[in-house]
């Protein structure tokens, strides 16, 4: 039986489009996506890939404003959109918006299964305010099932007493083929690309927002403490932007010898070259529900170093096999991992290949299959 699935999510994020396309291609799901906004320009300068959207969708009228560190997003026509689409089941990506609550109560009144797609982990750096926690628990009570990307999010839900048989896994995914082919092409023209992109012959890579919670200052400190002979031959490249960039650039200018390059924000289709030409990718985060940049790096067969706080670490990285896992907020341990990885080209190559093998299971099709399974069980079907 084909079930009508309404998926509610905040913005048209490029990394989600392949998953939604895969979901729309399935014979058992009739997908319609409700976006609460086109994008959030205050966070990233993503190009909205409308031509890549091969599924039914609409963008609800919205009002957005940043109030301090909080993101206020209000929508109109939520109820009308749900009534027009006549869903069999609703999957909602988060509980932070008024639209999410309106959809949850609308579904409860009509006895329509309501599933939460949640990526939070116990490592998230968020203030545990009493009112917020009370509201969160109330929202969880409105849900009949939960979709999570991996082990860390499932563990987070279990602390709220959520039954394990209502938690379904839909592994976080990127377009693996896009990054694999992009990396292959980049390596074929490595010399010219290095000159064009102004990249050193060897470098560590970080991709993401330049904000303290991503551990970028710890990464810079770990790089500064590398032994001088190594630092003289291996650079550090930051791809991304954020409020911490001026301070990072100031500190980087004092690292001698060494080479630190700040590329700025790069669109998805251009990222593979940076991964492909890097010696290793590093996610030094102090707070990250997942870290899709690790998926991207592994799809480019780039060895990775991640902190234990990253949500993806438990599922994607086997310490010493396809990468290294270090404690968060520990520049000394990160420095040791960097030196260890750079000690052997053979080690870097084998870890990169193993990462490529592992990431195959984290595909848009696999994520779509997990969502479809959760939707069917919520509707009373046996999968």
pLDDT digits (tens, 9 = 90+) for 281-299: 999 999 999 999 999 999 9
- What digits encode the pLDDT tens for the residues 123-170? 875 556 677 788 999 999 999 999 999 999 999 999 999 999 999 999
Average pLDDT over residues 270-287: 97
What pLDDT is recorded for position 49? Answer: 81
CB 32 within 8 A of CB 63: no
Q: Is the pLDDT of residue 256 over 90?
A: yes
Element (H, E) at 354: helix 345-359
Name which of 40-54, 193-207, 259-273, 352-366 the model is least confident about.
Answer: 40-54
What pLDDT is recorded for position 91? Answer: 98
The burial class, CB within 10 Å (0-12 / 13-18 / 19+), for 2 is exposed
More confident residue, 382 or 21: 21
What pLDDT is recorded for position 126? Answer: 58
What pLDDT is recorded for position 122? Answer: 87
What pLDDT is recorded for position 125? Answer: 55
Confidence of residue 43 (pLDDT cuts 50, 70, 90): low
Q: Is the pLDDT of residue 19 over 90?
A: yes
CA distances from 76 to 62, 82, 92, 106, 110 (A): 6, 12, 17, 14, 20
Of all residues in the chain, the percent with pLDDT exceeding 90 is 89
Of all residues in the chain, the percent with pLDDT exceeding 70 is 97
Q: DSSP secondary-structure letter at 214? A: G
What pLDDT is recorded for position 219? Answer: 98
Q: Is the pLDDT of residue 310 over 60?
A: yes
- For the chain, domain boundaries: 3-173+363-378, 176-359
CB 105 within 8 A of CB 10: no
Phi-psi region of 167 (alpha: psi -120 to 50; beta: other; left: phi over 0): beta
What is the pLDDT of the chain when averaged over all its residues?
94
Structure tokens belonging to residue 232? 């003289």
CATH 3.30.300.30 fits domain 176-359: no
Q: Is the pLDDT of residue 46 over 90?
A: no
β-pairing verdict for 70-75 and 89-92: unpaired
Give dist(CA 277, CA 182) in Å, integer: 11
Give dist(CA 119, CA 157) in Å, integer: 10
Give dist(CA 72, CA 191) in Å, integer: 46
Average pLDDT over residues 88-93: 98
What pLDDT is recorded for position 210? Answer: 97
- What digits encode the pLDDT tens for the residues 108-130? 999 999 999 999 998 875 556 67
Give dist(CA 315, CA 170) in Å, integer: 12
What pLDDT is recorded for position 127? Answer: 55
Is the fold of 3-173+363-378 the same as that of 176-359?
Answer: yes
Average pLDDT over residues 359-383: 94
Buried b (16+ CB within 10 A) or exposed e, 223-233: bbbbeeebbee
Give dist(CA 293, CA 170) in Å, integer: 17
Confidence of residue 376 (pLDDT cuts 50, 70, 90): very high
CATH class of 3-173+363-378: alpha beta
């Amino acid at each position: 039986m084909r079930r009508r699935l309404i998926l509610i999510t905040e913005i048209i994020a490029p990394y989600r489009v392949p998953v939604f396309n895969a979901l729309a291609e399935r014979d058992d799901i009739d997908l319609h996506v409700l976006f609460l906004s086109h994008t959030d320009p205050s966070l990233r300068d993503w190009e909205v890939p409308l031509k890549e959207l091969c599924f039914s969708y609409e963008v609800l009228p919205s009002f957005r404003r940043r109030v301090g560190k909080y993101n206020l997003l209000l929508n109109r026509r939520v109820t009308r959109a749900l009534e027009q689409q006549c869903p069999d089941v609703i999957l909602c990506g988060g509980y932070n918006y008024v639209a999410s609550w309106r959809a949850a109560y609308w579904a409860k009144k009509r006895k329509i299964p309501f599933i939460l797609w949640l990526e939070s982990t116990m490592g998230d750096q968020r203030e545990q305010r009493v009112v917020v926690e009370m509201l969160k628990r109330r929202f969880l009570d409105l849900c009949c099932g939960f979709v999570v990307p991996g082990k860390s999010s499932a563990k987070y839900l279990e602390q709220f007493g959520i039954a394990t048989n209502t938690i379904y896994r839909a592994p976080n995914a990127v377009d693996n083929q896009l990054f694999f082919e992009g990396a292959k092409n980049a390596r074929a023209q490595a010399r010219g690309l290095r000159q064009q992109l102004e990249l050193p012959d060897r470098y560590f890579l970080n991709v993401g927002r330049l904000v303290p919670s991503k551990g970028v200052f710890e990464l810079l400190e770990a790089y500064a403490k590398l032994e001088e002979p190594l630092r003289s031959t291996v650079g550090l490249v930051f791809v991304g932007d954020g409020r911490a960039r001026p301070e990072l650039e100031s500190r980087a200018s004092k690292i001698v010898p060494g080479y630190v390059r700040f590329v700025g924000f790069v669109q998805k289709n251009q990222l593979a070259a940076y991964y492909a030409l890097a010696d290793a990718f590093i996610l030094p985060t102090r707070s990250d529900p997942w870290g899709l940049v690790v998926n991207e790096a592994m799809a480019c067969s780039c060895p990775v170093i991640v902190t234990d706080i990253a949500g993806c670490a438990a599922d994607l990285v086997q310490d010493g096999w396809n990468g290294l896992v270090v404690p968060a907020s520990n520049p000394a341990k990160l420095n040791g991992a960097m030196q260890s990885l750079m000690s052997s080209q053979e080690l870097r190559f084998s870890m990169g290949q193993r990462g490529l093998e592992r990431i195959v299971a984290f595909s848009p099709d696999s994520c779509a299959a997990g969502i479809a399974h959760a939707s069917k069980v919520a509707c009373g079907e046996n999968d």
